[in-house]
């Protein structure tokens, strides 16, 4: 496959890997001159028309997604019996390789990756697309640390083989939600569960459930609770563990309502400067210490030789009372935090919006993005607003603030071919107004750009339309078709070229007794018709036998005026007009000459270039 060209556009450069359903290649888009990833469906799936149809439909729907944390799908195509996807090429490696090489990740790094995946899933879920196969293998990490989710929709096509023994499914079953393991329909909360497993693995260095077979692992997803993270990796922030465990709830209703909510809770869990969070973490740590003390006490109680004294019992009682009192106090602090309605700040400046939220006791985060219609510095979206339920004070609200329109420079397209112009327009971030206009041009080659709007080097918003005017060649003048009858095809071709006309290569041959073999018998268009330049004239050529040859006697009397004269005989027949006799004679000479002709002819006699006789002979 290396070097093969797909769709007359995508060239395969090297193989990157392969899965259960597809082989992945690195390729190049020869039109836009950029690297791409090409996923080629394995041959065993191409014969299943229903599978291919669903595969293409799913891929086309995912292609509508546009998010910095989702690998973009550029194209879906077919080359003979090969079905393929063309996707964004990502320089980096998958999360599975990173975990395998580095082991447990730092909590801050793990949360940063998980929140980016949350953002990707939230965008997909808002567009009614469920991933169904979230796992480290499908999370790519770029060299700058950006997480990109890939392979949308593929798991849905493979749902019938969820617990088979293929390598791909063995990898996937570790991340299956309980409802998927039961064979039920996967939904957005199934993706949240799978992401919870991924986050667990990033923090612990291993997945929560393992087994001897995919079936045994699937049963554990349905029946077993995962081992607490703190046992596998002591020192994990308790609040972070609570987020992971909530995502791993067996009942979907017990999980987060959305990937966006999970992202907020992850951020809150890592907000070390939040007083309430600090108190709650302290309470949880006290609870853990109490549990540890209770476990130790139970173990001690089993040893008759290590019984506590009454004073020891008194100390434990006091410690437990303090711990329980602190826990109740911390719980009341959390539950009784004031709730406020989030005000709407869309349309405000960033500073105004932050001040309004601060007055309500809410924190804010600014995310700047280009927007084609909202002025720079104005809020055009908030992730939580007045239509949502009240929230506790100190809640973080994300505000999207406009950077203004993404203004680009229009490239110079004049004299470029239409294909090259299309590529440059797309590369610059603009769209071509279809179809391009056409005009005649004596200066610009046919098929090349004559003019453009906006003009070259003007500034215009990204995504705006560029209108092109394309040459359809020089202006074509009207020409009168010459009479080609009696000419050979070589003679006719030369005569037509002088008039910028053409001789049609499809020549018809027929027998003729009027024209000699090789002479043109008839033509279309007819002689003297008006046509445009470049028009081809179709002719019919004689195959013979042609008219019979005949003879005629011609008598010339030279004037008796004392001077010499030139006598000339001209014969016009199917061969055209030809001088058959030219000679100088003395005054008073009498000339008798026999001439040959074909068919009907006109015989003319000239003396000193003055016609003296003319007759038609058969």
Catalytic residue IDs:
133
With 0-12 / 13-18 / 19 or more C-beta atoms within 10 angstroms meaning exposed / middle / buried, residue 526 is: exposed
Task: Look at the alpha carbons of 468, 469, 471, 472 in this order and tell me if their dihedral is positive or negative.
Answer: positive
- Token couple for 580: 């058959």
The arrangement of strands across the sheet holding 147-149 comes to 92-94, 139-142, 147-149
Q: Which residue has the tokens 């397209």?
A: 413
- Tell which residue, 149, 189, 151, 117, has the closest CA to residue 39: 151
> For residue 544, which phi and psi values (nearest 5 degrees)?
90, -175
**Cβ proximity of 213 and 220 under 8 Å:** no
Q: Which are the contacts of 581, defined by CB distance < 8 A and separation ≥ 6?
A: 554, 567, 568, 569, 593, 595
- Tell which residue, 190, 54, 56, has the closest CA to residue 131: 190
Task: Look at the alpha carbons of 363, 367, 371, 376 in this order and tell me if their dihedral is positive or negative.
Answer: positive
> For residue 449, which phi and psi values (nearest 5 degrees)?
-75, 130
**Cβ proximity of 240 and 107 under 8 Å:** yes
Q: Which are the contacts of 608, defined by CB distance < 8 A and separation ≥ 6?
A: 565, 566
- DSSP annotation of 304 reads G
Strand, helix or coil for residue 371: coil
Strand, helix or coil for residue 282: helix
- Tell which residue, 426, 435, 378, has the closest CA to residue 402: 378
Q: Rounded to an integer, what distance in angstroms lies between the CA atom of residue 102 and that of residue 492?
A: 83
Q: Rounded to an integer, what distance in angstroms lies between the CA atom of residue 66 and that of residue 344?
A: 26
**Cβ proximity of 207 and 174 under 8 Å:** yes
**Cβ proximity of 608 and 566 under 8 Å:** yes
Q: Rounded to an integer, what distance in angstroms lies between the CA atom of residue 570 and that of residue 579?
A: 4
**Cβ proximity of 591 and 584 under 8 Å:** no
């Amino acid at each position: 496959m290396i070097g093969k060209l797909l769709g007359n556009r995508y060239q395969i450069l090297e193989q990157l890997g392969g899965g259960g359903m597809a082989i992945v290649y690195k390729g190049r888009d020869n039109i836009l001159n950029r690297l791409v990833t090409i996923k080629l469906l394995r041959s065993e799936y191409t014969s299943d028309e229903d599978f291919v149809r669903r595969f293409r439909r799913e891929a086309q729907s995912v292609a509508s997604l546009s998010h910095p944390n989702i690998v973009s799908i550029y194209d879906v195509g077919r080359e003979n019996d090969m079905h393929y996807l063309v996707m964004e090429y990502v320089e980096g490696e998958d999360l599975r390789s990173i975990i395998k090489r580095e082991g447990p990740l730092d909590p801050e790094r793990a949360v940063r990756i998980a929140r980016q995946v949350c953002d990707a899933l939230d965008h997909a879920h808002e567009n009614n697309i469920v991933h169904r196969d979230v796992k480290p293998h499908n999370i790519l990490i770029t060299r700058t640390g950006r997480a990109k989710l890939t392979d949308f929709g593929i798991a849905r096509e493979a749902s019938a083989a969820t617990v088979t023994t293929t390598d791909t499914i063995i990898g996937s079953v570790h991340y299956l939600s309980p409802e998927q393991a039961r064979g039920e329909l996967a939904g957005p909360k199934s993706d949240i569960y799978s992401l919870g497993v991924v986050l667990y693995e990033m923090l612990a260095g291993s997945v929560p459930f393992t087994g001897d077979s995919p079936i045994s692992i699937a049963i554990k997803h349905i029946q077993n609770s995962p081992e607490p993270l703190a046992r596998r990796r002591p020192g994990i922030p308790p609040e972070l563990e609570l987020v992971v465990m909530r995502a791993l709830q067996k009942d979907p209703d017990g999980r987060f309502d959305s990937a966006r909510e999970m992202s907020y809770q992850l951020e809150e869990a890592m907000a070390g400067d939040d007083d309430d969070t600090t108190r709650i973490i302290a309470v949880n740590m006290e609870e853990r210490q109490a549990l540890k003390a209770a476990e130790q006490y139970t173990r001690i109680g089993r040893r008759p030789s290590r019984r506590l004294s009454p004073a020891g019992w008194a100390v434990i009682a006091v410690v437990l009372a303090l711990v329980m009192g602190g826990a109740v106090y911390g719980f009341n602090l959390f539950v009784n935090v004031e709730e406020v309605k989030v005000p709407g700040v869309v349309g405000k400046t960033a500073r105004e919006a932050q001040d309004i939220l601060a007055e309500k006791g809410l924190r804010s985060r600014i995310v700047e993005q280009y927007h084609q219609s909202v002025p720079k510095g104005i809020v055009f979206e908030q992730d939580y607003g007045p239509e949502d339920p009240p929230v506790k004070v100190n809640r973080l609200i994300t505000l999207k603030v406009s950077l203004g329109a993404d203004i680009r420079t229009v490239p110079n397209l004049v004299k470029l071919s239409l294909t090259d112009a299309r590529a440059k327009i797309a590369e610059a971030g603009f769209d071509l107004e279809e179809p391009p206009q056409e005009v005649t041009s004596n200066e610009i080659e046919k098929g090349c750009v004559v003019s453009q709007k906006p003009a070259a080097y003007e500034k215009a918003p990204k995504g705006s339309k560029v209108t092109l005017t394309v040459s359809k060649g020089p202006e074509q003048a009207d020409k009168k078709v010459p009479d080609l009858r009696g000419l050979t095809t070589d003679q006719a071709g030369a005569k037509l070229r002088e008039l910028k006309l053409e001789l049609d290569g499809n020549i018809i041959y027929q027998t003729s007794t009027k024209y000699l073999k090789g002479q043109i018998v008839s033509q279309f268009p007819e002689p003297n018709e008006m046509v445009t330049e470049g028009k081809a004239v179709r002719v019919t050529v004689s195959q013979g036998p042609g008219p019979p040859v005949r003879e005629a006697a011609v008598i010339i009397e030279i004037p008796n005026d004392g001077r010499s004269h030139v006598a000339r005989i001209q014969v016009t027949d199917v061969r055209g007009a030809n001088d058959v006799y030219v000679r100088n004679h003395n005054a008073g000479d009498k000339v008798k000459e026999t001439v040959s002709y074909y068919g009907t002819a006109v015989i003319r006699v000239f003396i000193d270039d003055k016609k003296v006789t003319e007759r038609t002979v058969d």
